[in-house]
Amino acid sequence: MKLPKKAVAVASALAMVGLLTSCIGGAPEAERAAITEFPDKWDDEITIDVFDELANYMGVQEGWFADVVKKKFNMKLNIIAPNVAGGGDTLYNTRVSAGNLGDLIVVGKGKKLDELVKGGLVSDSSPYYPAMENVEKFDTAVTHLNDGKDGVYAFPTSVSSIKPTEPSEGIDPTFGPYVRWDLYKQLGYPELNTLEDLLPVLKDMQDLEPTAPNGAKVYAISLFKDWDGNMMVTAKQPTTFYGYDERGFVLAKADGSDYQGLLDDDGEYLRTLKFYHEANQLGLVDPESTTQNYDTMWSKVQNGQVLFSWWPWLGQAAYNTDANTAAGKGFELAPLKDMTVFSYGAEAYGAGPVITIGSKAKDPERIAAFIDWLYSPEGTYVNNSQTMGAAGPQGLTWDLDDSGQPALTELGKQAFIGGEAEVPAEWGGGSYIDGGSTLNVSAVLPADVDKETGLPFSYKSWPSYQELVKTPLSEDWKAKMGDAPTTMDYLKDNDQLLVAPGASYTPPADPSEIETLRNQVKAVIVQYSWKMSFAGSEAEFDTLRADLQEEAKGLGYDKVLEFDMETAKAQNEAREEVAEKLG
Amino acid sequence: MREYPASRGAAGDDMTSQLVLQEVAATELEESPATEKASRKWRRQAGGRRSMGMFLCIVPFMVLVFVFSYFPLYGWIYSLFDYRPALGLSGSEFVGLQWFELLVSSPTQVAQIGQVLLNTLAISFLGIATSVLPLIFAVFLNEVRAPWFRNSVQTLTTLPNFISWVLVYMIAFSLFSSSGLVNNILNDAGLITQPLKFLDTDQNVWLTMTLWGVWKGLGWGAIIYLAAIAGIDQSLYESAKIDGAGRFQLMRYITIPQLMPTYLVLLLLSVANLLNNGMEQYFVFQNAFNKETIQVLDLYVYNIGITGNSLSMATAIGMLKSVISVVLLLTVNWIAKRVRGQSIV
C-alpha cells in the first residue's frame, strides 16, 4: 500500500502544477510618471506585436509604410491577424488565456474591451495622454469611450469633425445596387421601380453577355459564404437599399421608423431570400456560390463573370479598371425608384474598433507616440487603407500644386489609377500597393477635412482627381443621372439616402445565455437561408421557410430577438440624442 | 566450431540447476522455525526491491495515462462556469448547471443532439459494416500472381491513407464541385444541363462519407490481413489441394477462416471507437446544405465551442460523450457476461 500512496502523491503534485500554472497572472506594473512630450529619437530598434482584428495580412509589415514607421519610431510592426488565422475567436482566446494579447491591440469596443480591461490585459495610457497632442483634438471621443473606466484604456477610431448626421462615406455610399452599366445601357436603361424589377433586367443582361472574355459562363449574381454571421451576409445587403441595417436578429431602419425580426413573414430578409430563389430559378445565380469564398467571387467580378454588386467597393473596385472604363464598361449605380440607401453617419465618438496598448507592451511610451501619430494629418494620409482613399506619403504619391491644392504625382497616378507602381529605394522600395499599411484601421476618417488644404484627406474627393478619372463610362452615367458629380451627390439630391446618425453606440454584451442561444440560432438561419436560395421549387422554398421558423423558434430565437429589439431601440435613442446634440 | 556452442549450452544448464538448488535451499530454510522471522524480513525486502523496480518501469506509462486521460477531466469544471478566456477561470462567473439545463431546455435542442448522435452512430456503424472490405480486398489481392502488379496495387491503395483530409477534400472539390471535372464531362457529353450537386446536398451524406473513408483506408486496412495471410500454415493449403480444393474453395475454407480471429479483434477495437469517428473529415466536407446530416459529436462540439465561441457549453456537450461511452462499455460488458460468463472490466 506504500507505493500507490507515492503514486497518489506524484499525481497530486502534477495536479498542483497544473492548477498553479493556470493561476499565475501578470505582476502589477510599476507606476509611471506622466510625460508631456515624446522624445524625437528612439535609439534601439524594437519589433512590436500588433493584434489587429481588422487586418487581413499576417506577418511583419513591409514596404514604404514599414519604412515610414521605421524612420519615425525605429520600430517594426509584426501584425497578428485573426482574420487570416481563421477559426473565429480561437486566436484571441488562446492569446488572452496566455495573458498577453499583443503590444498594440486593435479590438472591438464593448464586451471585448471591457473584458480586457477587467482581466488586466490592456494598460492605462493616462501617463502618456498629456503628450498625445494629435489625439487630444478628439478628446470628446476619447473621454466618451473611456467613460466609466478608471483611466485612458482605449483610443477611438474613424473619428472626425464631421457632423454625426452627415454620411461618413466620401463620394460613394457603402451599399447600393450596382450593375454592369454597359449592358444596362444596351438594354436602353430600363426603369427599375423596385428590387424585384432587377430580375428580368439581369436576365436580359446575362443573355446579352453569356460568356466572359475568359470563356467562363457569366452569372448575374454570385454569392459567397465566408462572411456569414447572424445571417447570410449576401441576403442582408439588399435590405440596406431600403435603409435597414442589422442589430443582431433585428433589421432596424436608419431613422428608427421600423424594426423587423429577421424571420418576419413579410420582412425584408425573407424578401431577399425569395429574390435570390427566383433569380436562381431564372438561372441567374452562380452555382458555385454555395462553396466559394469572397476571394473567388472577387476574381470572378474582376474577370467580368458577374453583373450585379451590392457594393461599390466590390463591383467598381474589382472591375472598373482603366481599360474597362475607357471601353465604356464598368459597374455603376442603377437606382431603384423606391430605394433609400442606408448610410453610416460620421461616428460622433468613433467607430466600433478601438486602439489600445497591451499590459505587457515592450515600450508603451513609444507605442503611445505611434498611436498619436496615427491621428496626425501625416498619419491620416499614410495609414488609412487604400480602398478608403488614403493618399499615401506627401512627396511620394501626392503633393501640393502651385495653387496649394493637393494633386497626385506621376507615381500616385500609376498606383491609384493604373493599379500598381514601383516605389523608389529611398522610400523603402517594392510595390506601392503591397507596401501600404496593413493595419486596416482608420484612426481619423478619410472623409474628414485637412485644415491645411481645406479638402478631405481622401484623394478620391480631390477636384484634381475627379478630373483625372473622367471616363466614357462615368460621363455616360452622369449624363443619365442628371449631371450628378458623384454617386453620393445623386443619392442626396434625390432623397434616396437615409443617414443613421453616428452615435458611436456600443451594444451591451450578450448575457452568456443569449450568446449561446444566438450562436445556435444563427447557425440554423445561415444554413436554411442557403437552402432556401437554392430551393428547387416555390413549394420547397415555403416548406424550408416554415422549417426555419420552427427550428429557430425551438432553439430560442424569440428570446434573442427580444433582447436585440431592446438594443436596437436603445441604439435609435442614442442616434436621436446625438443628432439633437451635435447634428 | 561444433563444441563451443555445446559447452555454452552446458554452462547455461549448470547455472539453471544452480538456481533451482538455491530455491530449494531457500524453501528448506523457510521451513525451519528458528530462522523464520529473519527470512520473512529478507524476503519482504527482496520482494519490495524487485517490485520497486517493476513499479519504476510502469511509472512513465502511469504518468502518461494520468496526464492525458485523467488530468483533462479537470477541464470539466469549465462546464460549471461562464468561461471568458480574458478573465480566466477565477474571474469567470460560476453558473452551476445552467449549460446542462440549456441542453435539455427545448425540444428542438434535444432533437438536434439526437440528430447528432444518430449521425455519429450511423456513420460509425457504416464504417464497421465496411470493415469487411479490407479483408476481402486482401484475400483477392493475395491471389494475384504477378508480384509487380500486386505490389503496385498495394502501394497505390495504401497511399491515400497518408493524404490529409484537407487534401482529400481538394480532390473531392476538383472532381465533384459544380464546375468540377465530373460535371464538366457530363455537361460536355450533353447528359446534363444543370450541374449535379454532389457536395452541397443533404442526400446520401452518410454513404458518401463512408465511401471516402473506405477509399482512404482500404489499402491501409488490408496490410494487417496480408501479414496474417502470410502467416497461415502452408501445409493447410497443400492438404486442401490434395483433397481437390479449387482456388475459390481455398479462399473460402482456408484463408477466410484463418483470418477470422484477426478480423474479430479489429472489429472489437472499432466498436470501442464507436463515438470517436474523428472530425477532420466531416469538418472539411461540411457546408450549409449537408450540415444536418454530417454533424457528428466531435464536430458538433467544435462548432459550438470554437466556431460559436461557447466554450463552456461545448464542454457540457463534450461530457455527454464520456457518459455515452460509459453506457456503451457497461452494455458490452453485460453482453459479454451473458455470452461468455465473464466480464471484461
Same domain assignment for residues B177 and B320: yes
Checking if the pLDDT of B45 tops 80, the result is no
B328 with B198, same domain? yes
Q: In terms of domains, do B300 and B230 share one?
A: yes
Amino acid A202: pLDDT: 96
Domain assignment present for B164: yes
B172-176: long-range contacts (C-beta < 8 A, 24 or more apart)?
B172/B199, B172/B212, B172/B285, B173/A291, B173/B199
Cβ(B255)–Cβ(B233) below 8 Å: no
pLDDT of B17 strictly over 50: no
Mean pLDDT of B309-315: 87
Position A6 scores a pLDDT of 53
What confidence category does residue B18 fall into, taking pLDDT thresholds of 50, 70 and 90?
very low
A115 near B CB under 8 A? yes
Same domain, B27 and B148: no
A247 part of contact set with chain B, CB < 8 Å = no
DSSP string, A122-157: B---TTTGGG-HHHHTTHHHHHHHTTTSSS---EES
- Rounded CA separation A60/A47 (Å): 9
Q: What is the pLDDT of residues B238-254, one digit of tens each?
A: 999 999 988 899 999 99
Q: Please report the residues numbered 271 through 290 in chain B whose beta carbons come closer than 8 angstroms to any beta carbon of chain A.
A: 287-289
When divided into structural domains, chain B yields a total of 2
Residues 6+ apart with CB under 8 A from A28: none
Query: What CA–CA distance (Å, rounded) separates B103 from B113?
Result: 8
Residue B94 covered by a domain:
no
* Residue pair A70/A76 in contact by the 8 Å Cβ criterion: yes
User: Rounded to 10 degrees, what is the CA torsion of A239, A242, A245, A248?
Assistant: -50
pLDDT of residue B36: 64
Residue B5 reports pLDDT greater than 80:
no
Question: Based on the domain organization, do B302 and B162 belong to the same domain?
Answer: yes
Q: How far apart are CA B228 and CA B235, in angstroms?
A: 15
Residue A4 at interface with chain B, using a CB cutoff of 8 Å: no
Between positions 115 and 154 of B, the ones with CB within 8 A of A are none
Kindly state whether residues B205 and B269 are assigned to the same domain: yes
- B168: CB partners within 8 A, 6+ apart: B160, B212, B216, B281, B284
Kindly list the structural domains of chain A, giving each domain's residue range(s) and its CATH number in brackets, ordered by start: 46-156+352-390+437-441 (3.40.190.10)
> What is the per-residue pLDDT for B34?
53
| CATH assignment of the domain containing B161 | 1.10.3720.10
ipTM surpasses cut 0.85: no
Residue B136 lies in a domain: yes
Query: Looking at CA atoms only, how far is residue B233 from chain A in angstroms?
Result: 46
The domain boundary residue, chosen from B72, B98, B132: B72
Indicate yes or no: CB of A554 within 8 angstroms of CB of B111. Answer: yes
What is the residue-averaged pLDDT of chain B? 83
pLDDT band at residue B38, thresholds of 50, 70 and 90?
Answer: low
Nearest Cβ partner of B66 from A11, A516, A529? A11
Say yes or no: B63 and B117 in one domain. no
Least Cα separation, residue A90 to chain B (angstroms): 6
Q: List chain A pLDDT tens, one digit each, 583 residues.
A: 344 555 555 555 545 444 444 444 444 444 567 888 898 889 999 999 999 999 989 999 999 999 999 999 999 999 999 988 877 788 999 999 899 999 999 999 888 899 999 999 999 999 999 999 999 999 999 999 998 888 999 999 999 989 999 998 888 999 999 999 999 999 999 999 999 999 999 999 999 999 999 999 999 999 998 888 899 999 999 999 999 999 999 999 999 999 999 999 999 999 999 999 999 999 999 988 988 888 899 999 999 999 999 999 899 989 988 889 888 999 999 999 999 999 999 998 998 899 999 999 989 999 999 999 999 999 999 998 766 778 899 999 999 988 889 999 999 998 888 778 899 999 999 999 889 999 999 999 988 999 889 999 999 889 898 888 888 999 999 999 988 888 999 999 999 999 999 998 988 888 888 988 998 899 999 999 999 999 999 999 999 999 999 999 999 999 999 999 999 999 999 999 999 988 7
pLDDT of B294 reads: 92
CA-based nearest residue in chain B for residue A534: B289
Last residue within a domain, chosen from B17, B44, B72:
B72
Alpha-carbon gap: A89 to the closest alpha carbon of chain B (Å): 7
d(CA A575, CA A502): 7
Domain that holds residue B10: 3-72
Q: pLDDT tens digit string along B242-301?
A: 999 888 999 999 999 999 888 888 887 787 778 877 789 999 999 888 888 999 999 998
Q: How far is A388 from chain B (nearest CA, A)?
A: 30
- Residues B66, B180 within the same domain: no
Spatial separation of the C-alpha atoms in residues B275 and B296, rounded to whole Å: 9
Binding-face residues of A in 527-546 toward B, CB within 8 A: 527-531, 534
Instruction: Tell me whether residue B88 is in a domain.
Output: no
What are the distances in angstroms from CA A202 to CA A283, A306, A312, A334, A487? 10, 10, 18, 12, 21
The confidence band for B225, taking pLDDT boundaries of 50, 70 and 90, is very high
Is residue B304 less than 8 Å (CB to CB) from chain A?
yes
pLDDT score, position A362 = 85
Q: Which three cell numbers stand for residue B273?
A: 471507437
pTM, whole model, 2 decimals?
0.77
Query: Domain check: are B113 and B68 in the same one?
Result: no
Instruction: State the cell numbers at A257.
Output: 421608423
Which residues 193-232 of A have a C-beta within 8 angstroms of B? Answer: 225
Domain match, B196 and B248 both = yes
Looking at the fold, whether B284 and B171 belong to one and the same domain comes out as yes
> Do residues B47 and B150 both lie within one domain?
no
